[in-house]
């Protein structure tokens, strides 16, 4: 595989290089950008590398403005703004390299813990406010302030609970409108936090970000944004015309003064809001009964600072350089930040330029917060690195903020509502604004393409488990998709591509076929070797050295290099356990040391020490233990961060009618050490859930007897499993395997039609992930296939998918580039 990424292909292979950065893992994505954890080869450090969609670089005006605005964002040096290391163009794509942050984000925190304690929320809000004021002083407007863009570095060493970074600065949302590159159905901003002037397409400035920060503050304190509605248009209406609701009515332990502060910060007219974000933060702290930083005495428990105030940046006790971790400029847990993956703040002077018209974002099913979550009472002292002096009634006027009322007043009277904000005018405005986006009205109702892979901060109704029964969806055929077949004989079940991209392996029952990639779309049969019992799943170790094929009570271990040489006996050994039989799927730990096998017949998952078996010889000591799952476990997937293992299980009791199955979350590291205590949570997953995909904070499951593809929030699966379902798509008859392609923007599902349902056929369903998460029409079409398609593999280059056809004795190749 080439070290360099092929320009313009739209696919980014792991291990390839962009401008001196080697891609290691995709950690976030949005409608117009993908973020990778990458290694800066020159400085030997990890960075978050955001790569924009290749087509954006083709527009000269956009490219020039992108470089200019990225430099402007990089010039803002502030302890609570993600540092931008480099921005430029390479291999016909635009990129930004940023700090790789060690921590989660506020979106994930809220999903896991619900409303935050007042002290912790105020600390986060004040740090974000200081970052926004710094950006505004440089002429930058963020335009998409939300919990998912507030990253938490819990290893700052400063003694506070959180060190907060505000992300998503750099690429101007304004430039997309100016250059006419805004996509239909894409909203630059998030409806739950968007200010009225941004909806209406009027000029925006720092007060727009202040409004969004106030909405996010409301959610931090009570667990839901102020204007949560079932439909996007209802949110738009509320943002334009309704007064903010009472926070204290939702959370009785807070002082009534909090409502006054939030009402002013969320005033419909920008001039009626606070003059700066820190002025709002200070007023909120005061209303909460928390001392404004700097006003407390030495060693005050409210600030946790010694005499003399907070430590200066770089001084002892201030935040050190954070260490690398899997969450970065776009946070993958909670899927919130992905919606803004390609959006950054406008550059200097952008506040004076009204957008050409607000585009729209598809509305995503919200992740519910945990019900009944009470306030925690014990947190370490907090306080950001710098704040304005305390005791001031108002803050100095900032550039471009002319016409504000004086700050420090308990409440400010609302201005007379202008004619254009009357109820009738609001309806007209919504229709005009949404219509100007070209299809945005449909997007607001879940019919448009969203920001892809993310969102999480917008609102629709919650998804409901499908139950058992037939729900086959109709969809157009996709005859233009390029396909080809190769006959392999036997009863092909699983196909697995080798990391080198040159070979693939197909389990046939008692043998394994080795396929060789050639010049044509379909591979050719290179060789076949005996592998008794290899009739189900298989997996290749992350280092690419071994292929494990499920068999009996464990797995057959095959030397990949020897098999690729055409050897008739490439088997190294066999992992066996005393726990029964019916091995279905295999998973291998990211460090290549452990193997996990689901045993359908005995309702167990067995854990093997693969490294020990390869080193010391195969035997009973290879078995680490088993995890009892209660039902019939079948499918498995390891989370991208390597911390969790997801297992799907079908109901054990055989009755005339199918029953609900489950998805179990297993702590992977605990499973390696003490399997019996590794189960973290269990959630219902439709009828006969069979296969699972893990991508970012989304976990996708095919539910065979429900004819659906389900999507769960990974965070909620662990913390609130009963409320973890976030999307469902009717896909076809008896879906089995699934695979993600195009950096996660599409999912292919194998509709097996095992039960020969009337009017149904075997097919491959093509799903739009962004539309699925938005609750829109996600089934793009069906690809004709052989009888009973089962399992997929994607070649390392991301260009070809192979799928087994069990009853046809063949493997079908699908050209990814020809998919809709």
DSSP string, 572-584: EEEE--SS---EE
Rounded Cα–Cα distance for residues 690 and 704 (Å)? 7
Q: Is residue 11 within 8 Å of 817, Cβ to Cβ?
A: no
Tell me the pLDDT band of 3, cut-offs 50, 70 and 90: very low
The helix/strand count (H/E) of the chain reads as 16, 36
Residues 6+ positions from 742 with CB-CB distance below 8 Å: 10, 11, 798, 816, 819
What pLDDT sits at residue 293? 53
* Mean pLDDT for all residues in the chain: 76
Q: What is the pLDDT of residues 486-541, one digit of tens each?
A: 999 988 999 999 998 999 999 999 999 999 999 999 999 999 999 999 999 999 99
Q: What is the pLDDT of residues 383-438, one digit of tens each?
A: 333 333 333 333 333 333 233 333 333 333 333 344 334 443 444 344 334 433 33
Rounded Cα–Cα distance for residues 738 and 12 (Å)? 20
Check pLDDT > 80 for residue 122: yes
Q: Which of 111, 144, 641, 667 is catalytic?
A: 144
Rounded Cα–Cα distance for residues 461 and 286 (Å)? 36
What pLDDT sits at residue 358? 29
What pLDDT sits at residue 342? 33
Averaged pLDDT for residues 140-145 = 88
Check pLDDT > 80 for residue 196: yes
Residue 754 has a CB neighbour count (10 Å cut-off) of 17
**CA dist list (Å): 682 to 236, 607, 708, 714, 793:** 37, 19, 19, 12, 27
Q: What are phi and psi of 273, to 5 degrees?
A: -90, 180
Displacement of CA 799 from its chain's centroid (Å): 23
Q: Is residue 813 within 8 Å of 523, Cβ to Cβ?
A: yes
Check pLDDT > 70 for residue 65: yes
SS3 for 163?
strand
What pLDDT sits at residue 537? 95
> Which of 572, 631, 571, 639 minimizes the C-alpha distance to 598?
631
User: Could you tell me the pTM of the whole model?
Assistant: 0.50
Q: Which of 109-118, 313-322, 571-580 has the lowest mean pLDDT?
A: 313-322
Q: Is the dihedral of CA 218, 222, 225, 229 positive or negative?
A: negative
Averaged pLDDT for residues 138-160 = 76
Rounded Cα–Cα distance for residues 310 and 319 (Å)? 11
What pLDDT sits at residue 548? 97
Check pLDDT > 80 for residue 188: no
CA angle 449, 455, 459 (to 5 degrees): 90
Rounded Cα–Cα distance for residues 395 and 303 (Å)? 21
Would you call 144 a catalytic residue per the annotation?
yes
SS3 for 688?
coil
Q: Which of 415-429, 477-491, 570-584 has the lowest mean pLDDT?
A: 415-429
What pLDDT sits at residue 801? 96
Q: What is the pLDDT of residues 5-27, one digit of tens each?
A: 333 334 577 888 888 999 988 87
Question: 3-state SS of 335-359?
Answer: HCHHHHCCCECECCCHHHCCCCCCC
Residue 423 has a CB neighbour count (10 Å cut-off) of 10
What pLDDT sits at residue 765? 95
Q: What share of the chain is helix, strand, coil (3-state, %, to 5)?
A: 25, 30, 50
Domain residues of the chain, as ranges? 483-818
Tell me the pLDDT band of 189, cut-offs 50, 70 and 90: low
Check pLDDT > 50 for residue 313: no
CATH classification of 483-818 is 2.130.10.10, yes or no? yes
Tell me the pLDDT band of 658, cut-offs 50, 70 and 90: low
What pLDDT sits at residue 606? 97
What pLDDT sits at residue 160? 55
More confident: 621 or 157: 621
């Amino acid at each position: 595989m080439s070290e360099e990424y092929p320009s313009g292909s739209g696919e980014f292979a792991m291990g390839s290089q962009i401008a001196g950065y080697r891609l290691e893992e995709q950690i976030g994505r949005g409608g117009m950008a993908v973020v990778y954890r990458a290694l800066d080869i020159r400085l030997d450090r990890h960075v978050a590398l955001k790569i924009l969609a290749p087509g954006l670089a083709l527009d000269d005006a956009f490219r020039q403005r992108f470089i200019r605005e990225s430099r402007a964002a990089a010039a803002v040096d502030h302890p609570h703004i993600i540092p931008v290391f480099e921005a430029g163009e390479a291999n016909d794509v635009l990129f930004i390299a940023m700090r790789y942050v060690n921590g989660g984000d506020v979106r994930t925190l809220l999903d896991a813990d619900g409303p935050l304690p007042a002290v912790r929320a105020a600390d986060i809000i004040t740090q974000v406010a200081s970052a926004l004021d710094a950006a505004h002083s440089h002429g930058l407007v963020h335009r998409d302030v939300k919990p998912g863009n507030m990253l938490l570095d819990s290893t700052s060493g400063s003694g506070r609970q959180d060190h907060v970074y505000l992300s998503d600065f750099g690429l101007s949302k304004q430039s997309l409108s100016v250059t006419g590159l805004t996509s239909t159905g894409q909203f630059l901003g998030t409806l739950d936090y968007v200010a009225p002037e941004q909806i209406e397409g009027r000029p925006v400035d720092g007060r727009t970000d202040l409004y969004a920060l106030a909405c996010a503050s409301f959610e931090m304190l009570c667990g839901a944004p102020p204007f949560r509605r079932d439909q996007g248009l209802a949110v738009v209406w509320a943002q334009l015309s309704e007064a903010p609701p009472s926070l204290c009515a939702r959370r009785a332990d807070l002082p009534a003064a909090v409502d006054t502060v939030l009402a002013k910060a969320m005033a419909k007219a920008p001039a009626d809001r606070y003059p700066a974000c820190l002025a709002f933060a200070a007023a909120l702290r005061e209303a909460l009964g928390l001392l404004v930083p700097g006003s407390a005495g030495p060693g005050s428990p409210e600030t946790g600072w010694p005499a003399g105030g907070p430590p200066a940046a770089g001084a002892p006790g201030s935040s050190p350089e954070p260490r690398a971790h899997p969450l970065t400029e776009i946070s993958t847990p909670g899927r919130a930040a992905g919606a803004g993956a390609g959006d950054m703040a406008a550059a200097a002077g952008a506040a004076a330029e009204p957008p050409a018209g607000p585009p729209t974002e598809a509305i995503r099913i919200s992740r519910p917060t945990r019900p009944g979550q009470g306030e925690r009472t014990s947190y370490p002292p907090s306080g950001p690195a710098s704040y304005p002096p305390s005791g001031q009634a108002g803050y100095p006027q900032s550039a471009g903020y002319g016409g504000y009322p004086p700050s420090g007043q308990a409440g400010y009277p609302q201005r007379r509502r202008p004619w254009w904000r009357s109820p009738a005018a609001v309806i007209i405005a919504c229709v005009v604004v949404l219509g100007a986006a070209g299809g945005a009205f449909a997007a607001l109702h879940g019919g448009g393409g969203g920001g892809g892979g993310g969102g999480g901060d917008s609102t629709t109704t919650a998804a409901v488990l499908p139950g058992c029964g037939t729900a086959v969806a109709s969809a157009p055929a996709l005859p233009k998709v390029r396909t080809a077949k190769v006959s392999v004989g036997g009863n092909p079940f699983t196909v697995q591509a080798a990391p080198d991209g040159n070979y693939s392996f197909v389990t046939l029952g008692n043998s394994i076929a080795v396929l060789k990639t050639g010049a044509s779309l379909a591979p050719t049969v290179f060789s076949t070797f005996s592998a008794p019992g290899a009739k189900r799943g298989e997996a290749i170790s992350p280092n690419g050295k071994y292929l494990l094929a499920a068999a009996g009570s464990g797995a057959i271990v095959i030397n990949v290099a020897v098999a690729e040489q055409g050897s008739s006996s490439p088997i190294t050994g066999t992992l066996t356990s005393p726990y029964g039989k019916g091995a279905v799927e295999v998973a291998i730990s990211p460090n290549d040391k452990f193997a996990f096998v689901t045993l359908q017949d005995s309702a167990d998952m067995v854990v093997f020490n693969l490294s020990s078996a390869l080193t010391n010889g195969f035997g009973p000591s290879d078995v680490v233990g088993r995890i009892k799952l209660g039902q019939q476990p079948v499918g498995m997937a390891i989370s991208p961060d390597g911390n969790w293992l997801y297992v799907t299980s079908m109901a054990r009791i055989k009755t005339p009618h199918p029953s609900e199955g489950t998805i179990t979350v297993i702590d992977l590291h605990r499973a390696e050490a003490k399997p019996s205590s590794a189960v973290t949570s269990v959630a219902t997953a439709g009828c006969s859930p069979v296969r699972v995909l893990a991508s970012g904070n989304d976990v996708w499951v095919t539910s065979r007897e429900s004819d659906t593809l389900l999507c769960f929030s990974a965070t909620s699966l662990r913390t609130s499993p009963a409320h973890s379902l976030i999307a469902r798509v009717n896909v076809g008859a008896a879906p089995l395997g699934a695979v993600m392609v195009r950096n996660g923007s599409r999912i292919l599902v194998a509709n097996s039609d095992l039960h020969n349902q009337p009017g149904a056929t075997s097919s491959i369903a093509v799903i739009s992930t962004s539309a699925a998460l938005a609750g829109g029409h996600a089934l793009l079409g069906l690809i004709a296939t052989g009888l009973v398609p089962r399992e997929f593999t994607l070649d390392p280059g991301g260009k070809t998918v192979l799928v087994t056809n069990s009853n046809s004795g063949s493997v079908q190749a699908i050209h990814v580039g020809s998919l809709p």
